[in-house]
Amino acid sequence: MKIALCLTVIAAIGGTIVAGRSSTPSNADDSRVEAARQGDRAATKIPTEIGAELKRSGDEIVACGRLFHTSTRVVLWTDPGGYDAYRVERRFSPRDQAGWDATHAQVKALKQPNRFGLRKAALADDEIERVRGGGWDLDTLKRVVDQFVIHFDARGTSRGCFEILHDVRGLSVQFLLDLDGTIYQTLDLKEGAWHATKANARSIGIEIANVGAYPAADRSVLNQWYIKENNYVRIAIPDRLRGNLPRDSIFRPIRSAEIVGEIQDKTLVQYDFTEPQYDALIKLTATLTTIFPKIALDYPRDSKGGLIPRKLKDDAYAKYQGILGHYHVQLNKVDPGPAFQWDRLIDGARRLKSRTR
């Protein structure tokens, strides 16, 4: 009855938000959705209350203005504590210096107010003209998006990451994933975030809070961020970068030992991500690969079925559809690093999707 009421109110105000079942977002096209709405309007006798507030449950992500459940905590750019990549002003500068004029004068790397662009690569001219004003529909977006790019943020927290992307570099990413497993969505998925050069038009990106991977001889950053306590390792978060993370919270990598591995033919050392981060990423990945069927639930593999730990060759990249790391896209990148557990992600997302079918 409550679901019918919500759909009735949404239809009455002309909204485009669609609620999906937990972890199984709707893949219906617009005509089927509208038919379902009309059926709900005819089936219910409950009157619409003018001005009634429709509340999110707190686990939804947004694609083309429509809501899809993930079953994990999501903070949108419109929520208190969210990170809004649509804003022109700098988020973490003094208010009297945050506007575009002052920002442009003080930060030379910021050449224009926008930190994102239009997904033009797979669109015809008439489609570009239609969507450039915001007229994206989900079916068009499904045709365009076929990659999910995973990064570590090299800043340690989502607050620190957004500051560098938005206030300093003029970049963006659709999702941030903090140490506590909170997912921050900064843009509607229809937007082409600037996070991975040639992948921007066809991909969705996520920056996972982790200070990154380094050569074995350079442990200075790792020594600052990871404190060894008996048999455990604690992440030491600078107060300035804590953001929404509670001050009394303690976060640990899911494995206490440093992980050594080869990325781009370089030997690197990295601490793993936290357990809440893996749990949230599994649920988000299952959701995205359901909404966007072209994103295959797998990572780049060699002829023996193992992970390819380097940039994909241009022809292989052009054909690739699925989950991949930033280092698969660009030769000068090593994220998400050697500690990232690809099988944990893929196997977990596959199990989750199999249970919800």
Least confident of 17-21, 101-105, 199-203: 17-21
- Please check whether residue 60 lies inside any domain of the structure: no
The strand pairing partners of 62, in sequence order, are 67
Q: Give Dmax (Cα) for the chain.
A: 70
Residues 8, 136: one domain?
A: no
Note the pLDDT of residue 31: 53
What is the residue range of 341's domain?
A: 95-212+273-355
> To the nearest 10°, the Cα dihedral for 116, 120, 126, 131?
-30
> To the nearest 10°, the Cα dihedral for 215, 205, 311, 199?
-140
Note the pLDDT of residue 104: 87
Least confident of 18-32, 281-295, 336-350: 18-32
In total, how many domains does the chain have?
2
Residues 47, 186: one domain?
A: no
Q: What is the CATH number of the domain that holds 312?
A: 3.40.80.10
Residues 100, 201: one domain?
A: yes
Residues 170, 39: one domain?
A: no
Residues 48, 149: one domain?
A: no
Residues 32, 122: one domain?
A: no
- Please check whether residue 235 lies inside any domain of the structure: no
Residues 12, 142: one domain?
A: no
pLDDT digit string, tens, across residues 189-235: 999 999 999 999 999 999 999 999 999 999 999 999 999 998 899 99
Residues 190, 322: one domain?
A: yes
pLDDT digit string, tens, across residues 131-142: 988 789 999 999
Note the pLDDT of residue 122: 82
Per-residue confidence band for 61, with pLDDT thresholds at 50, 70 and 90: very high
Nearest to 175 by CA among 202, 145, 138, 150: 150
Residues 198, 324: one domain?
A: yes
- Please check whether residue 89 lies inside any domain of the structure: no
Residues 286, 345: one domain?
A: yes
Note the pLDDT of residue 34: 53
